[in-house]
C-alpha cells in the first residue's frame, strides 16, 4: 500500500502507520530535495508515532527506519562543518529547528522502548538489558543539544539530568563499556561511556564561542579522542586543569575542581579526567606551529583548526582568567558588523573606492556621496558591560542580519562631542527563544585606520585594492597588522597599502588570526 508523499503515513483506522515496512516505503517516496517539506513530514510522523502504543521491539525498528533519512541530512551538515557563508548560515537556520525536534522525537522513542523493556522484569532477568535503546536515547539527545548549539541557544532544563541518568544506569549494571550498534548506522558501534563522554566534552568546549558549524567538527573529532579521557569515582582533587567533576544528581554540566564543594553527594559524583586529551590537542597545535599537516585522524577543517584547537585547550585545560575587569554599563549603542560596514563607519561614513585602476569587470564602484548610506546603518543594541578588554551588548529583537561568532564588530561612543568607534571581534553569542541576542566581543586596541590593500603579484582579484584595516601600536617593538577579507593572506607576499593618497610597499608576515569573516596578519 503506497502512502501519499505529501502527508504522514496512515495505517488502519486512519492513525499513524507503525508498520516498519510500510513506513519505509513512505519514506522512500518523499521529495528529499525539498528539505523543509520532507523534514516537516518526518517530524510529524515521529511525533505521532510516539503517541501510539507500540511494542518496544517494533518501536526500536521504527527508530532505525526513521534514522536513515534523518542521518542523510545530519551527514550533509557534518560535511559542511564550519565552512559557511552568511547565506548558507541563513539557510541552515531555517532547517535546524526541525532537525532538533526530529532528534528529540527519536530520543523519546528510544526512551519509551527502554522503559517498556525495563517493566518486563521477569523476562529482563533472562535477557540483555535495553542497551541499544539507552544508547539511542543518549545519541539523539546529543544531536538535539548540538542543534541547540547551532542556534546559539542555552541548554534546556532537564537535558543534563537525562544524560546523567542514562550513563548511571549503564554503570550500575557494569555495562557502560559494552559495545553496542549505533542506531540506523550500519557497521558503526559505540559504548554508552564513550557516547556520554563525547557530548560532555563537546559541551565543555563552550560551543557559543565557536564559528557556526564548528561544533559538528568537534563532535566528530571526539569520536576518535574519547579513548584519551577517563571517568572514575569522585575523590578530592587539586584545583588544576584537565579534570572536571560530574554530579550525577544534578541538571548541570561538569564543574571545575574549585566547585567541588557544590556536589550534593560524593558517592554520586564522578571525575572526568582530560589530562591525556590535553596532550593530544597540544601535539596537534605543535604540528601546525611547525607547518605540518594534522594527523590522519583529524576531522577539523584546516582553515579553522587553529581556532578550534585553541578553544579545546582553553576548555579542557586551565580556564583563562579575564585580564581586564568589566563594569556594568547601560544605554543604547550603535553597532555595526562585518568588514564592509565596519570599514564604512571607521572611514568617516565613506564607502571603499578601489581606485581608477580597477578593471572594468571588477569591482569599481563610484564612491558614496557624503551623507549617503549604502546599507551600513548602525543597529541599536543595549550595552551590558564594558572594560579595557571587551564589551557585551544585548538586543531584545532579532537583528536584521545574521550574527556570526568570529565576525568584526564596532560600536560608536560620543567622546567630547566627537563620534569614536571601538573595534572588536565577536567571541561568543547567546540566543534565547530565537529572538533575544546577546554577544560578547574582544576589543582590538591600537590606532586603527581604514585603508586599501592589494598584492603586487598573483591573480587579477588579488591585485585589486580591497577593504582593509591597518592596526598600529604605540609600542615600536610590535609589528603593525592588517585586517582584511578571508582568503587573501599568503606569508611573504609583496603588498601595497593605500593609506589616503599615499601607497606604501610592504610584505605579509605571519597570520595571527583567521576567522569566518576576516584574516589578521602582521606586516613584515
User: Which pLDDT value is given to residue 102?
Assistant: 97
Residues 330 and 442 in one domain: yes
Residues 56 and 182 in one domain: yes
What CATH number is associated with residue 509? Answer: 2.40.10
Do the beta carbons of residue 456 and residue 496 sit within 8 Å?
A: yes
Name the grid cell of 398: 532579532
Residue 368 belongs to a domain: no
Residue 466 belongs to a domain: yes
Residues 261 and 398 in one domain: no
Residues 454 and 421 in one domain: no
Residue 165 belongs to a domain: yes
Q: Which domain holds residue 457?
A: 447-523
Interatomic CA distance for residues 463 and 461, integer angstroms: 5
pLDDT at 356 over 70: no
- Number of domains observed in the structure of the chain: 4
User: Which pLDDT value is given to residue 83?
Assistant: 81
Residues 41 and 189 in one domain: yes
Residues 28 and 177 in one domain: yes
Closest to 237 measured CA to CA, from 210, 265, 270 = 270
Residues 161 and 32 in one domain: yes
Residue 15 belongs to a domain: no
Q: Give me the DSSP letters along 330-384.
A: -SEEEEEESHHHHHHHHTTS------TTS-TTTT--PPPPTT--SS-PPEEEEEE
Whole-number Cα distances in Å, 436 to 153, 427, 433: 10, 17, 7
Whole-number Cα distances in Å, 100 to 149, 151, 216, 428: 10, 10, 14, 21
Closest to 60 measured CA to CA, from 140, 175, 126, 177 = 140
Residues 70 and 147 in one domain: yes
Q: Does an H or E element contain 501, and which?
A: none
Do the beta carbons of residue 216 and residue 146 sit within 8 Å?
A: yes
| pTM for this predicted structure | 0.86
Phi, psi of 362 (to 5 degrees): -90, -95
Residue 370 belongs to a domain: no
Residue 225 belongs to a domain: no
Q: Summarize pLDDT for 93-141 with one digit per residue, the tens.
A: 889 999 999 999 999 999 999 999 988 765 545 567 899 999 999 999 9
Name the grid cell of 2: 503506497
Residues 441 and 452 in one domain: no
- The 3-class SS string of 151-170 reads CCCCCCCCHHHHHHHHHHHH
DSSP β-bridge partners for residue 523: 508
User: Which pLDDT value is given to residue 122?
Assistant: 53
Q: Summarize pLDDT for 1-49 with one digit per residue, the tens.
A: 455 555 777 766 668 999 999 999 999 999 998 999 999 999 999 999 9
Do the beta carbons of residue 35 and residue 77 sit within 8 Å?
A: no
End residue of a domain, out of 290, 316, 342: 316
pLDDT at 365 over 50: no
End residue of a domain, out of 412, 446, 480: 446
Report residue 363's pLDDT band, with 50, 70 and 90 as the boundaries: very low
Mean pLDDT score across all residues of the chain: 87
What CATH number is associated with residue 424? Answer: 2.40.10.220
Residues 129 and 82 in one domain: yes
Name the grid cell of 450: 581604514
pLDDT at 202 over 80: yes
Closest to 468 measured CA to CA, from 504, 441, 440, 442 = 504
Residue 327 belongs to a domain: yes
Q: Summarize pLDDT for 426-463 with one digit per residue, the tens.
A: 999 999 988 899 999 999 988 999 999 999 999 999 99
User: Which pLDDT value is given to residue 359?
Assistant: 47
Q: Does an H or E element contain 320, and which?
A: none
Residues 243 and 331 in one domain: no
| Mean pLDDT of all residues in 139-159 | 96
Residues 327 and 412 in one domain: yes
Q: Strand, helix or coil at 225?
A: helix
Closest to 23 measured CA to CA, from 39, 38, 50, 45 = 45
Residue 213 belongs to a domain: no
Amino acid at each position: 500500500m503506497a502512502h501519499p508523499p505529501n502527508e504522514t503515513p496512515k495505517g488502519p483506522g486512519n492513525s499513524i502507520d507503525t508498520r516498519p515496512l510500510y513506513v519505509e516505503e513512505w519514506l522512500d517516496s518523499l521529495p528529499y530535495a525539498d528539505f523543509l517539506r520532507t523534514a516537516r513530514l518526518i517530524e510529524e510522523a515521529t511525533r505521532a508515532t510516539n503517541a501510539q502504543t507500540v511494542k518496544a521491539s517494533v518501536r526500536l525498528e521504527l527508530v532505525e527506519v526513521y534514522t536513515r533519512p534523518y542521518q542523510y541530512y545530519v551527514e550533509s551538515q557534518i560535511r559542511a562543518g564550519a565552512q559557511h557563508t552568511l547565506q548558507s548560515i541563513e539557510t541552515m537556520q531555517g532547517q535546524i529547528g526541525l532537525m532538533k525536534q526530529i532528534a528529540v522525537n527519536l530520543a523519546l522513542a528510544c526512551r519509551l522502548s527502554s522503559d517498556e523493556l525495563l517493566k518486563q522484569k521477569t523476562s529482563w532477568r533472562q535477557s540483555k538489558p535495553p542497551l541499544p535503546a539507552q544508547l539511542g536515547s543518549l545519541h539523539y539527545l546529543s544531536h538535539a543539544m548540538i542543534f541547540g548549539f547551532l542556534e546559539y541557544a542555552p541548554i534546556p532544563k532537564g537535558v543534563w539530568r537525562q544524560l546523567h541518568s542514562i550513563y548511571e544506569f549503564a554503570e550500575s549494571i557494569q555495562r557502560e563499556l559494552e559495545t553496542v550498534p549505533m542506531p540506523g548506522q550500519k557497521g558503526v558501534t559505540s559504548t554508552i561511556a564513550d557516547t556520554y563522554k563525547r557530548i560532555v566534552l563537546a559541551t565543555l568546549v563552550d560551543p557559543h564561542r565557536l564559528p557556526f558549524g564548528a561544533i559538528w567538527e568537534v563532535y566528530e573529532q571526539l569520536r576518535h579522542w574519547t579513548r584519551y579521557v577517563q571517568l572514575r569515582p569522585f575523590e578530592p582533587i587539586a584545583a588544576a586543569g584537565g579534570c572536571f567533576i560530574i554530579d550525577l544528581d544534578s541538571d548541570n554540566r561538569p564543574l571545575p575542581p574549585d566547585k567541588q564543594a557544590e556536589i550534593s553527594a560524593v558517592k554520586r559524583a564522578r571525575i572526568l579526567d582530560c589530562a591525556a586529551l590535553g596532550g593530544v590537542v597540544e601535539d596537534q597545535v605543535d604540528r601546525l606551529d611547525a607547518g605540518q599537516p594534522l594527523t590522519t585522524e583529524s576531522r577539523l577543517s584546516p582553515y579553522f583548526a587553529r581556532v578550534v584547537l585553541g578553544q579545546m585547550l582553553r576548555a579542557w585545560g586551565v580556564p583563562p582568567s579575564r585580564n581586564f575587569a568589566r563594569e556594568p554599563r547601560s544605554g543604547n549603542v550603535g553597532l555595526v558588523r562585518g568588514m564592509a560596514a565596519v570599514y564604512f563607519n571607521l572611514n568617516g561614513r565613506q564607502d571603499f573606492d578601489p581606485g581608477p585602476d580597477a578593471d572594468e569587470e571588477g569591482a569599481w564602484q563610484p564612491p558614496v556621496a557624503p551623507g549617503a548610506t549604502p546599507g551600513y546603518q548602525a543597529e541599536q543594541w543595549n550595552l551590558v558591560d564594558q572594560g579595557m578588554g571587551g564589551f557585551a551588548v544585548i538586543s531584545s529583537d532579532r537583528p536584521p542580519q545574521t550574527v556570526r561568532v568570529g565576525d568584526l564588530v564596532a560600536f560608536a561612543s560620543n567622546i567630547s562631542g566627537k563620534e569614536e568607534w571601538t573595534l572588536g571581534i565577536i567571541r561568543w553569542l547567546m540566543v534565547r527563544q530565537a529572538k533575544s541576542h546577546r554577544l560578547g566581543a574582544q576589543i582590538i586596541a591600537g590606532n586603527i585606520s581604514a585603508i586599501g590593500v592589494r598584492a603586487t603579484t598573483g591573480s587579477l582579484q588579488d591585485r585589486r585594492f580591497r577593504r582593509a584595516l591597518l592596526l598600529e601600536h604605540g609600542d615600536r617593538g610590535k609589528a603593525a597588522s592588517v585586517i582584511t577579507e578571508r582568503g587573501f593572506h599568503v606569508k611573504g607576499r609583496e603588498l601595497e597599502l593605500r593609506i589616503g593618497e599615499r601607497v606604501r610597499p610592504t610584505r605579509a608576515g605571519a597570520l595571527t588570526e583567521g576567522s569566518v569573516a576576516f584574516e589578521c596578519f602582521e606586516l613584515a
